[in-house]
């Protein structure tokens, strides 16, 4: 078991209930789809996973970290085990593609030669070797999202969290990004893909969690 939510609730002060008694788990190497309409609390749930927020009630276990005993000093080490991809790309506009990707391992103090090799590896994986020196504003939306994905996987995380990663992309590009996440998952990294785009997963056969105002339920299809 990689991640477990146990009776988790989250309330914004003073009394706005966002999540209520959420229970689920994900094993290492799984691909899980999180669905639900906009505003239902998907992003809040994801923030709880990487401990940006803390549950009002219940507990979250991720790898060796538990929300009830977690110390803020451990946050950098937890974050190295989780890669995050946002809808809005979140690229550094003043750095080219390879420098955007290298930024993450540079912060963690990895040797420059190791960073160079890893950047080359993830650029090849996401199909952007030919764009390594391009600036973000020279890239298409799909290319920018591929850079964001490369940055998220460069530290070999146990889990990738994708928060509406295709929300700003056309259907064809969205399908390509989904294929890329599937490829990353096939290499052993767990993926949680949050989306309200049901069409994207209409042929999906894996685990699906549907979040509503009443809670969370597991289904065998996106609907």
Per-residue pLDDT band for 220 (boundaries 50, 70, 90) equals low
* β-bridge mates for residue 85, sequence order: 162
β pairing state of 57-62 and 65-66: antiparallel
Structural tokens at position 141: 């939306």
Per-residue pLDDT band for 108 (boundaries 50, 70, 90) equals confident
CATH number of 1-81+157-223: 3.40.50.300
The ranges assigned to domains in the chain are: 1-81+157-223, 92-156
Per-residue pLDDT band for 204 (boundaries 50, 70, 90) equals confident
């Amino acid at each position: 078991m990689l991640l477990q939510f146990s009776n988790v609730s989250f309330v914004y002060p003073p009394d706005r209930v966002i999540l209520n008694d959420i229970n689920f788990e994900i094993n290492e190497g799984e691909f899980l789809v999180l669905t639900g309409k906009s505003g239902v609390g998907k992003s809040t749930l994801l923030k709880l996973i990487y401990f940006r927020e803390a549950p009002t009630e219940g507990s979250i276990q991720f790898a060796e970290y538990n929300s009830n005993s977690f110390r803020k000093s451990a946050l950098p080490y937890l974050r190295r085990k989780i890669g995050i991809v946002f809808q809005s790309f979140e690229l550094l506009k003043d750095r080219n593609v390879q420098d955007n990707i290298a930024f993450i391992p540079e912060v963690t103090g990895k040797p420059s030669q190791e960073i160079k090799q890893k950047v080359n590896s993830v650029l090849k994986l996401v199909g952007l070797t030919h764009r390594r020196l391009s600036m973000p504003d020279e890239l298409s939306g799909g290319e920018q999202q591929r850079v964001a994905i490369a940055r998220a996987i460069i530290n070999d995380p146990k889990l990738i969290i994708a928060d509406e990663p295709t929300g700003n992309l056309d259907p064809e590009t969205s399908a390509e990004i989904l294929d890329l996440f599937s490829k990353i998952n096939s290499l052993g990294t767990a993926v949680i893909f949050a989306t309200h785009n049901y069409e994207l997963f209409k042929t999906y056969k894996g685990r699906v969690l549907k979040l509503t105002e009443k809670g969370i339920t597991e289904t065998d299809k996106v609907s």
